[in-house]
Amino acid sequence: MEHGIFSFRSYLVTGAILVVFSMDILATRTVPMIPKPNQVWTWDITWLPGPIKGPYFRLYMIDIFSRMPVGWDVWENEDAVYAEELIKKAFISEKIAGEPLVLHSDNGSPMKTATFQVLLQKLCIQKSYSRPRVSNVNPYSEAMFRTMKYRPEYPHKGFVSLDAARSWAAEFVL
């Protein structure tokens, strides 16, 4: 298997974040080269502010190693049931059946529940987790979340409703 050196950089360009993924000799971590889409997915959950201080909506987003979103949804709380639903929808829409797939995530509770683990096993998805207590656990998903939250049209004062958060996320993903 070929291996390369990965580095991640982001730059502020005219009020938006430009994310650059590149091969770099100075990077410290070696990762396998992924030759085509739908071989490695990475996902995470970010919090979107609600209409008043305190409540948040949770955005679940999966993105391919090529940084293309393959599935997403917004919910009012973190729950393994939502994670399972998202994985099933993305698995079907991307026609993954019979193909090898690795799903990388942090060590959050929805990612580690027994029912979620059973689903991954049924779909023949290999799981991969970041090391515990590491700040840069999921740079692909985190970069997408940062890009989203630094866009000028992002509602920094909060979303008025769950439907508004879903609508905004749909526009961002398209």
Domains and CATH numbers, the chain: 35-173 (3.30.420.10)
pLDDT tens digits along 118-129: 999 999 999 888
Helix, strand, or coil here: 153?
Answer: coil
What percent of the chain clears pLDDT 90, i.e. is strictly above it?
A: 27
For range 149-156, the mean pLDDT: 92
Say if CB 47 and CB 60 are below 8 A apart.
no
pLDDT at 92: 92
pLDDT tens digits along 86-114: 999 999 988 888 888 888 888 777 888 89
Alpha-carbon span 4 to 26, nearest angstrom: 11
Tokens describing residue 2: 């070929």
Sign of the dihedral through C-alpha 96, 98, 102, 106: positive
Given the structure tokens 């709380």, which residue do they identify?
A: 77
Please state the separation of Cα 138 from the chain's center in Å: 8
